Structure 1
Amino acid sequence: MKKKIDVVTLGCSKNLVDSESLIKQFEANGFSVAHDASNPEGDIAIINTCGFIGDAKEESIETILNFAEAKKRGEIEKLFVMGCLSERYFQQLKMELPEVDAIYGKFDWKKIVTDLGQSYRADLRNDRTLTTPDHYAYFKISEGCNRTCSYCAIPLITGKHKSRPMEELIDEAQKLASSGVRELQMIAQDLSFYGLDNYKQMRLGELVRKIADVDGIDWVRLHYAYPAGFPYDVLKVMNEHPNVCNYLDIALQHISDPMLKIMRRNVTKADTYKLLERMRKDVPGIHLRTTLITGHPGETEQDFNEMFEFVKEMRFERLGVFPYSHEEDTHAYRTYKDDVPEEVKQERADIIMQAQEQISWEINQEKIGKEFKVVIDRKEEDYYIGRTEFDSPEVDPEVLIPVDSAELKTGTFYQVNITDAEAYDLFGEVVK
């Protein structure tokens, strides 16, 4: 058998971690693997799909169909599909895509290795071949979600929350650090829930503390917390450990009490305000990233206006908005009519993002003249591109440093003075 494989990853960073684990297994078995190549050249193509919302599902299907056409033209020999879309729609994909040689779900992808006549290496289960720049990695601490939000299909795909053992995570962090990784993006469907299943108590704060103590880790950043039952000890860890970034990604989705109830978020408007006020009090300068949903069934103009005013009042450092997607088998799909027109959903999302652009510009203007620790991710044309502790890769603002001002190394941290700012980018010079 020829041993050249292309792996294409769609969707979130949690999918990326699975792809990296799979790539490691193939390389250990003598395969040559390319990830997200602009011109795939493998004999086998593996598509790791996303099935979260409508746009993501369409992208996954389109990618599969494109590779199916490549197979018909004889450009690839085999086509495999794995991930969230196939976990959610396994039978439908099997019936409608006969060109696909084999379909795997989100959790049985290890079978791809054995189905190709190779050995799955259990001793490498905590090892990955990173597809990110060498100095940072995504660090998945759990799978699944126990929440019952009305709109969300994630629990249908991933099942119940399953925390990874703390010892296993510490071992992985040490291996990553020894390989040169200096920044960990801690991810999960729900960070807040960590430990409740294995240890009968929330242990996110303890885990973050132990990961921060790993030699060689300069930054630990937290993604995807949940507002209900938030583990406040995490804020104490942020203050006590300089390498735990003053950054938190916490999806709030809405603020009006009627919508929070319909969405089954298990928090109130008052709860949300208390949570945000405490975060900003306990961790001065914390940068909060959140996401909101416009056009959920039942959302009135009054509900939307309340959310719009909330955004203007709270002035989130980072914010994204998703128009509601009516997903099969969710509580909202079974219970409510999708009664907000698509154009209204999008218009409301656009209104919020226009306001957020101004907020982001004003927050960035306040950074001009200040000095920040910045890691360099890459060199791009006339600039080195870096990030502060307040910026996660690919989704947050970047720091642009002219290449003619200094000679910098990717993966290295520098003190940078901010000289100018736009809504979503900063410009700076390295402090000599």
Structure 2
Amino acid sequence: MSGRQKTPPNTLRRLYPVSLGCAKNRVDTEIMLALLEAAGYQVVSRPQEADLMLVNTCGFITPACQEAIDTILELAAYKQDQPEKQLVVTGCLVQRYQQELLDLLPEVDIFLGVNDFPRIVEVIRARSTTGRLHCQDGWQDYELIWPRHLTTPFYSAYLKIAEGCSHHCTYCTIPQIRGPYRSRPLSTLVAEAKQLAAQGVRELNLVAQDTTAYGVDQGGRLLLPELLRQLAGIAALQWIRLLYGHPARVTPELLRVMADHPQICPYFDLPVQHVSDRLLHRMGRGYRQKDLWETLARIRTIIPAATLRTSVIVGFPGEREQDFAELCQVTAQMEFDHLGVFAYQPEEGTPAAKMAESVTPREANRRARRLRSLQARLNRKKLRRLKGTIQPVLIEGHSEETELLLRGRLAGQAPEADGQVYINAGWAELGRLTPVRITKTYTYDLLGEVVGGQTACSEIEKNLTSWPDHVSI
């Protein structure tokens, strides 16, 4: 028999993925996508076209849990007319509420915990004999470099440097869900970063539950400075950014390394959560307001141009009006460039959920609105200082609102977290650092024009459709 054999019917399996939650979850999703594609699955853009529907969930806070349940039920509805479809649910929600989900969601074919997602192909293939729930207590092999199907633009990627958390914040469920802190080997991270750079990644964002704790579980030595030195030696990487740090671990050595390597963005994402010593103690944060001031002074002395991002919780049990007033006053004095404000919500199983002196949700939300309004005024003031300056901007394509504007980010604007730079004059290549003169400023965003007479690049339209925007992230 000669000629090309026809592909047997029904051998092409189609996959519809949804990833919820943080960038660390996104990395796990990218690994699962690559493993499933190697097993013969093809990503599709609509759930009704899929043979396998995959949801990677967040279970950190109650609203995230509700979003995950709603998403699962929405996808489960497609199984009513097509019962042969498989629905697989993974991630933090599964790890946190294992038995409850088995009873609540009979529509789900497989539940995978946070340590089991690399086994997704094996578990799917053995579904009929292995049961619905897979939640191991053991950890992954962190020396491995898993394949990844990047769901970020081709020029930007996340690098997860550790798993879990060993802090004991009284409001947080992460240690219960993800386990204690485990650093990935330094050599493994450098090798993965080189692979990403070879694929065209120019911006590398380091993520963990606490990036500044990297190495603390390996003999107690903080290894983040050494990791950054080696990553800065990868010539193709133009921006290296740290996300999710802890204010108590910003050491002079770390700052000197950041100051000595221009590829490392002078960007500090340090959630302080509060400034009242009494509240910090109740939160279990392990530092006082005095320590925060010392950390900020150290950063601004060694890296004067540093961008500072933080987040705070208002309405925590025991927060009095004078505590909130202190929070407003001190955060304004600290002059953060980006401030996220969250109204406290009690989480089942945490010490804070049992604390007395609770603040009503209405009052917590009122305080959150007041602090956001204050920070908005500070933002406008700080951004006005950039008017007329020329800044390197990472070009990200057309604005989502109109093709008459390009959009990009400064080194002090992390992806999906901070504001953007919109460009109304000149053209530039997608994924390139381009000089832009800032002509106007707003509360969170900037407007500018390309400097240097660059011409339109036809690659921008082609590249805009080259990354997997059909993946629901």
Alignment-mate amino acid for residue 86 of structure 2: K
Query: Is this contact kept in 1: 2:164–2:174, CA < 8 A?
Result: yes
Structure 1 contact 385–401 (Cα < 8 Å) conserved: yes
What does 1:1-400 correspond to in 2, within 5 Å? Answer: 2-34=12-44, 37=45, 41-74=49-82, 77-117=85-125, 125-334=145-354, 336-337=355-356, 339-380=358-399, 381-400=403-422
* Letter in structure 1 aligned against 2:28: D
Say if 1:234 and 1:123 are closer, same or farther in 2 by CA, change over 3 A.
closer
Aligned residues of 2:206 and 2:243 also touching (Cα < 8 A):
yes
Spell out, residue by residue over 1:383-422, the C-alpha distance to the aligned partner (whole angstroms, 9 max, x if none).
11100111101111111012xx323221011111100010
Separation in 2, partners of 1:40, 1:244: 43
TM-score normalized with structure 1 length: 0.95
Deviation at 1:231, TM superposition (A): 2.9
C-alpha displacement at 1:116, in angstroms? 2.7
Percent same amino acid at aligned positions? 39
Check if 1:407 corresponds to 2:427: yes
Measured in 1, the distance between the counterparts of 2:168 and 2:143 equals 36
3-state SS in 2 of match to 1:4: strand
SS at match of 2:64: helix
SS in 2 for 1:198: coil
Structure 2: distance between partners of 1:278 and 1:198:
26
C-alpha displacement of 1:40: 5.8
Amino acid at match of 1:287: T
Structure 1 residues 27-59: Cα deviation after superposition (integer angstroms, max 9, x where no partner) = 11221024xx46663111010000011111111
| Alpha-carbon offset, residue 74 of structure 1 | 2.2
| Residue deviations 1:99-132 (CA, integer Å, cap 9, x gap) | 10011111101222112339xxx99843211000
How many pairs were matched up?
A: 425
Say yes or no: does 1:416 pair with 2:424. Answer: no
Counterpart in the other structure of 2:470: none
Task: Tell me, yes or no, if the aligned pair for 1:228 and 1:265 is still in contact at 8 Å.
Answer: no
Output the CA distance in 2 between the equivalents of 1:315 and 1:271: 16
* 8 Å contact from structure 1 (residues 220, 243) kept in 2: yes
Deviates more, 1:317-326 or 1:373-382: 373-382
CA root-mean-square deviation? 1.8
Q: Distance in 1 between matches of 2:48 and 2:61?
A: 26
Counterparts of 1:124 and 1:161, CA distance in 2: 17
Quick check: 2:47–2:78 contact (8 Å CA) kept in 1?
no
* Closer/same/farther in 2, CA of residues 231 and 38 from structure 1, 3 Å limit: farther
Q: Residues 401, 327 of structure 1: CA spacing in aligned structure 2 closer, same or farther, 3 A cutoff?
A: same
Cα gap change, 1:247 to 1:24, in 2 (>3 Å): same
Whole-angstrom distance in 2 between the partners of 1:90 and 1:231 = 39
Give 1:345 shift.
0.7
The secondary structure found in structure 1 opposite 2:116 is: coil
**Cα separation, 2, equivalents of 1:14 and 1:159:** 14
SS in structure 1 at match of 2:240: strand
Task: Judge conservation of contact 1:183–1:219 (CA < 8 Å) in 2.
Answer: yes
Give the Cα–Cα distance (whole angstroms) in 2 for the partners of residues 221 and 38 of structure 1: 33
- The letter for the 2-side match of 1:134 is F
**1:192: how far off?**
1.6
| SS in structure 2 at match of 1:389 | coil
- Give the structure-2-normalised TM-score: 0.87
Q: What residue identity is the alignment partner of 1:360?
A: N
Query: What secondary structure, in the 3-state scheme, does the structure 2 residue paired with 1:116 have?
Result: helix
> Match for 1:52: what amino acid?
F
Retained in 1: the 8 A contact 2:395–2:431? yes
* Uncovered stretches (5+) of structure 2, i.e. residues with no partner: 1-10, 127-141, 453-473
Unmatched 5+ stretches in structure 1: none
Q: Decide whether aligned partners of structure 1 residues 229 and 411 sit closer, same or farther in structure 2, where only a CA change above 3 A counts.
A: closer
CA 1:311–1:22: 2 relative to 1, 3 Å? same
Secondary structure, counterpart of 1:100 in structure 2 = coil
Alignment-mate amino acid for residue 331 of structure 1: P
Which residue matches 2:131?
Answer: none
The one-letter code matched in structure 2 to 1:273 is W
Structure 1 residues 156-185: Cα deviation after superposition (integer angstroms, max 9, x where no partner)? 111000000000000000000000000001
Q: Which amino acid aligns with 1:159?
A: G
